[in-house]
Chains A and B, each alone.
Chain A
Amino acid sequence: MAKNGEKLFIKGNEAISRGAIAAGLKCYFGYPITPQNDIPEYMSAELPKVGGEFVQAESEVAAANMLIGAAAAGSRCMTSSSSPGVSLKQEAISYLAGSQLPAVIVNMNRGGPGLGDIGPSQGDYFQATKGGGHGDYRTLVLAPGTCQECYDLVIEAFDLAFKYRNPVMILGDAIVGQMKEPVITREVKDHDAAEGKEWRIEGAKDRDHRIIKSLFLTEGSLAGHNQALQAKYDEMAKNTKQELFETEDAELIVVAYGSIGRIVKSTVRKLRAQGHKVGLFRPITLYPFPSEELNKLAKQGKKFLTIEHNLGQMVEDVRLSIRTITDSDFFGFMPGNLPTPDDFEEPILKSLGGK
């Protein structure tokens, strides 16, 4: 086990695994799919050593449903997968949200639709941030751009899951999952063993029995339930996370997330060195989207360019955030190819120069 402040040179997928164990992970359920197999492999070896349970489920469907059971029992639990596998998990994620259960789901986004490819992509943004499964619900979504963030955000994901009693998704891709970087581990203070004591199932002793469910048949009760969920999402929106890089005097703000945000940062650095007034806004919380922070920049008269590794998804949230003031250009780097900082130079300069 990594000690506090230890410096490791590891892959993003391993950083996620180590972060989860540091956060007190008790149960992991998974099913193999590239490019996230390092996570179940790590868990199968390491989780039992710290008294946790690892199950290689018969399918993603089963893995996500195991999460419902473990979460209902109040344990810190996680599953991980990649795009087609995450589609299969959506029914259970909807039940988790409807039953107000805390769990962490990792999606190492690969190319789609369908079987697509195993390379990186941001094609699952809509699925991750708009609910993905059936019904009115949202999953809190965090998007790491570095291996260090993989480690840190998964720890935060568990705290947020329990704080809001809601599923939290870590949305990465094959770039951040497969690259190796230095990661500094940190000591995580033991979470309270009584976490969830007021709602979890643990045996009805000296009190009325508890029912964890998402079925609300009596007149008006589903409406009340959905209102409570909405209030929770509004509350979450007060604490979004984002990185602002060179935005102060920038004329053009590039909005990009995850590994693409990280690559764009290099492009911004290079263009800055050439004297171009460009900056980066990298949302880390994808749901709730950091609309207010972006809106502040719009009020300062900035131009916007959204860059994604897909055909255009987050750009809708960017436009919604700034719609009363301005618009955003869009540049989609097609999944199926790996971008470099150079690939973004031309579109950024074009947006900067255009009116």
Chain B
Amino acid sequence: MSEQEILAFDRADAIVDVPTHYCPGCQHGVAHRLAGELLSEMGLTEDTLLVTSIGCSVFLYNYLNVDSVEAPHGRAPAVATGVKRARTDKFVLSYQGDGDLASIGMAEIMHIANRGEKVSIIFVNNTVYGMTGGQMAPTTMEGQKTTTSPNGRDPMKEGQAIRMAEIIASLGGTAYSARVALNNVKNIRKAKKAMKKAFEVQQKGLGFGFIELLATCPTNWRMTPIQANERVESEMIPYFPLGVYKDVTAED
């Protein structure tokens, strides 16, 4: 290591200084970093209660320097509801993968949005079940090969990939819903801005905040990190259009 080493970025106080367990090129780490930076910048670190879910992100509680509770698979929105009702004065954040949120936990995510709980949920859509070894998720795309759709997802038998940001936007209690991507620096900057908006609607007590992040899983996509980023651009974004689907602050 050179003695001339210059620190280009400070570590945000909400981020714990430990190596993460993710595969090379996985964007869970990027998503964590954005969340941690925002908590620090918004002065929320000491006031945040975090709900973590099941999937590759299960260890998020080791990486963010905030008090946290672990939810069963899919149930993070219900657990987050309980936390927020018990401590209405706190900032409540949850983080879920696509298998977790759009499959087993579909009922819970619909109803937390519809009730308009004042919590923020970060939704990482990598079109596959990561942790359990690459099985088909509700967001797996038509023709995409996974370990349980070996011939590619067949919409006639297995349905189409579910677009969550749009569905959440349609529910009454949602104050903000947007889809962003983590595949390049420009999109990462936009992602951070959108996440900030989702956090702000909670702070203002306006309702539920939802942010869908299109992210890579190079391991289960059997791709290099670069190929995985290209897939986000060429296949995912056309089917899962980026944008803000609901923003109650923009309506006035």
The CA-CA distance from A102 to B87 in the complex, in Å, is: 16
B220 at the A interface (CB under 8 A)? no
**Total contacts A to B, CB within 8 angstroms?**
136
Q: Are B72 and A211 in contact (CB under 8 A)?
A: no
* Complex Cα–Cα for A68 and B77 (A): 11
Known pairs A73-B83, A99-B70, A209-B16. 17 more at Cβ < 8 A?
Answer: A53-B85, A57-B78, A58-B110, A66-B79, A66-B81, A67-B82, A69-B82, A72-B79, A73-B49, A74-B86, A75-B86, A77-B86, A201-B69, A204-B67, A211-B61, A213-B69, A215-B58
Identify 9 residue pairs between A and B in the complex whose beta-carbon atoms are under 8 Å apart, listed by A's number: A61-B108, A65-B75, A66-B85, A68-B75, A77-B82, A99-B70, A201-B67, A205-B46, A211-B62
Residue of B69, B75, B85, B90 near A212 (CB, 8 A) is B69
Alpha-carbon distance A68/B72, docked complex (angstroms): 10
Q: B48, B58, B83: which has the most chain A beta carbons within 10 Å?
A: B83
Q: Does A5 contact B (CB under 8 A)?
A: no
- Closest CB of chain A to B23's CB: distance in Å? 17
Bound-state Cα–Cα, A29 to B81, Å: 10
Chain B residues proximal to chain A, CB less than 8 Å: 16, 45-49, 51, 58, 61-62, 64-72, 75, 77-87, 90, 107-108, 110-111, 115
CB distance from A172 to the nearest CB of B (A): 24
Would you call B71 and A68 a contact (CB within 8 A)?
Answer: yes
Q: Which residue of B lies closest to A75 (CB)?
A: B86
Taking a contact as CB atoms under 8 Å apart, the answer to whether B58 and A69 are in contact is no
A15 within 8 Å of B (CB atoms): no
Contacts of B107 in A (CB 8 A): 58-59, 61-62
B80 touches A203 (CB 8 A): no
What residue of chain B has the Cβ atom nearest to residue A53's Cβ?
B85
Contact with B along A42-74 (1 / 0, CB 8 A): 000000000001010111011101111111111
Residue among B58, B61, B82 making CB contact with A71, cutoff 8 Å: B82
- A residues within 8 A CB of B83? 69-70, 72-73, 201
Beta-carbon nearest neighbor of B45 in chain A: A204
Contact indicator per residue, chain A 210-221, by CB within 8 Å of chain B (1) or not (0):
111111000000
Task: Tell me the nearest residue of chain B to A74, going by C-beta.
Answer: B86
| Option from A62, A99, A214 in Cβ contact (under 8 Å) with B75 | A62
Residue A26 at the chain B interface, CB threshold 8 Å:
yes
Interface string of A69-87 (1 = CB under 8 A from B): 1111111010000000000
Assess whether B78 is in contact with A65, with CB atoms less than 8 Å apart. yes
Residues in chain A near residue B84, CB distance under 8 A: 69
Contact of B47 among A53, A61, A203, A213 (CB under 8 A): A203
Contact A99 B90 (CB under 8 A): no
Cα separation A27 to B79 with both chains bound (whole Å):
13
Of all chain B residues, the one with the shortest Cβ separation from A28 is: B85
- Cα A153 to Cα B47 in complex, Å, equals 35
**Residues in A whose Cβ lies below 8 Å from that of B82:** 27, 29, 65-73, 77
Q: Which of A69, A73, A99, A214 has the largest number of chain B CB atoms within 10 A?
A: A69
Looking at A63, A75, A95, A204, the one whose CB has the most chain B CB atoms below 10 A away is: A204
Task: State which of A29, A72, A203 has its C-beta within 8 Å of the C-beta of B69.
Answer: A72
In the complex formed, the residue of A with least CB distance to B80 is A69
Q: Closest approach, in angstroms, between the C-beta of A274 and any C-beta of chain B?
A: 54
Q: How far is the CB of A211 from the nearest CB of chain B, in Å?
A: 5
Residue of B whose beta carbon sits closest to that of A200: B67
Query: Chain A 289-329, CB within 8 Å of chain B: the 1/0 string?
Result: 00000000000000000000000000000000000000000
